[in-house]
Amino acid sequence: QVQLVESGGGSVQAGGSLRLSCAASGYSTSSWRCMAWFRRAPGKEREGVATIWTGGSSTYYADSVKGRFTISQDNDKNTVYLQLSSLKPEDTAMYYCAASGPRLDGCLFGSPEYRYWGQGTQVTVSS
């Protein structure tokens, strides 16, 4: 069973930074897949933030975070990171890590299906 555990959330002032981590377990690292970060703000729908393909360096970002957030991975540690910089109050949300099944490439928010989800980590940005 694939398990994802997020950490690193917290409260910061606008302009600050945080680094979120997503530790994955329960699947073979020999099978490449998409890893993604999503977020859900109070009263809003869940939205995709960033994706990365574990077989290479291909990444994809929501327009709202381009140039401010960076997704990266350490395959030796089975961990995906999301560096949040220049944070804004509108970045306040619960952030979730998600993983797809085996995938050769093409990691978007709506495709592939993200089968596995973490419990989330809260990010709160004050003005």
- Is residue 35 within 8 A of residue 25, CB to CB? The reply is no
SS3 state of residue 92: coil
Q: What pLDDT score does 111 carry?
A: 87
Confidence of residue 104 (pLDDT cuts 50, 70, 90): confident
Report whether pLDDT(97) > 70: yes
Mean pLDDT of 54-80: 93
| Measured CA distances, 69 to 17, 19, 86, 101 (Å) | 9, 9, 8, 24
What CA–CA distance (Å, rounded) separates 78 from 124?
26
Q: Which CA distances in Å does 30 have to 3, 61, 107, 127?
A: 16, 25, 17, 43
Alpha helix (H) ranges present in 18-94? none
Give 7-42 pLDDT, tens digit per residue: 999 999 999 999 999 999 987 666 789 999 999 999
- To the nearest whole number, what is the mean pLDDT of the chain? 94
In which residue are the tokens 């555990």 written? 5
Query: Please, what sign has the CA dihedral across residues 92, 50, 115, 46?
Result: positive
**Distance from CA of residue 23 to its chain's centroid?**
11
